[in-house]
Chain A
Amino acid sequence: RKEVEQDPGPFNVPEGATVAFNCTYSNSASQSFFWYRQDCRKEPKLLMSVYSSGNEDGRFTAQLNRASQYISLLIRDSKLSDSATYLCVYSGAGSYQLTFGKGTKLSVIP
């Protein structure tokens, strides 16, 4: 089983739409979870950390479900500038290493 599984997309959505990405992970000892955003041919940039209680940052909401071993990212009122690849990332307990998913590509269309 792959360590991190994401739907590669692409997700093509119109401006203003709400879109959700899910990600499943196999390591039940995983400790910390993140969503990174990567623009084409650029480096990944931290979008938000994901907490068990769920967290929101403007139009972005992240949720963690430890029992089912998945995390989600919800983007409301999509903007053209949201077009990017979204990477699901986690780290194991006591580990410096991050494990990256292959990413989900989002294209927001005018």
Chain B
Amino acid sequence: DGGITQSPKYLFRKEGQNVTLSCEQNLNHDAMYWYRQDPGQGLRLIYYSQIVNDFQKGDIAEGYSVSREKKESFPLTVTSAQKNPTAFYLCASSISGDGVTQYFGPGTRLLVL
């Protein structure tokens, strides 16, 4: 079955710790995205990648980093510089092109201890 997987489902971070969220897709999509959702808020774009080895900052990139070494994978690292990391993190992918439908993974909930 084709789809997008994210792991882990829940992640706990200690103060000052970097954590990495995994996102994998087998849809053969060129573009991948990371969003953050806070309670009662819309999704906000963190980073996106249109092609392997290239990525762009979204609206709230500070405190986050990404890599795109493989078409199938787009991991997100939440660094210690992100002062309010508790949120629901969603990864999405789409075929190339603007204005196209994005498909989402099941998400990772990050909690700060």
Contacts and interface: CB of A to CB of B under 8 A. Distances in A.
Interface of A: 4, 8, 31-32, 34, 41-46, 49, 87, 91-103
A44 B102 CA distance: 10
B45 interface: yes
7 contacts: A32-B98, A32-B99, A42-B106, A44-B43, A91-B99, A96-B48, A96-B94
A38 B88 CA distance: 13
> Looking at A34, A41, A97, A103, which has the most chain B CB atoms within 10 Å of its CB?
A97
Contacts of B113: none
A4 B99 contact: no
Contacts of A95: 98-99
B104 A31 contact: no
Interface of B: 31, 33, 35, 40-45, 48, 50, 58, 88, 90, 94, 98-107
B107 A43 contact: yes
Contacts of B105: 43
Given A44-B104, A45-B104, A103 B42 contact: yes
A101 B41 CA distance: 8
B42 A93 contact: no
A31 B99 contact: yes
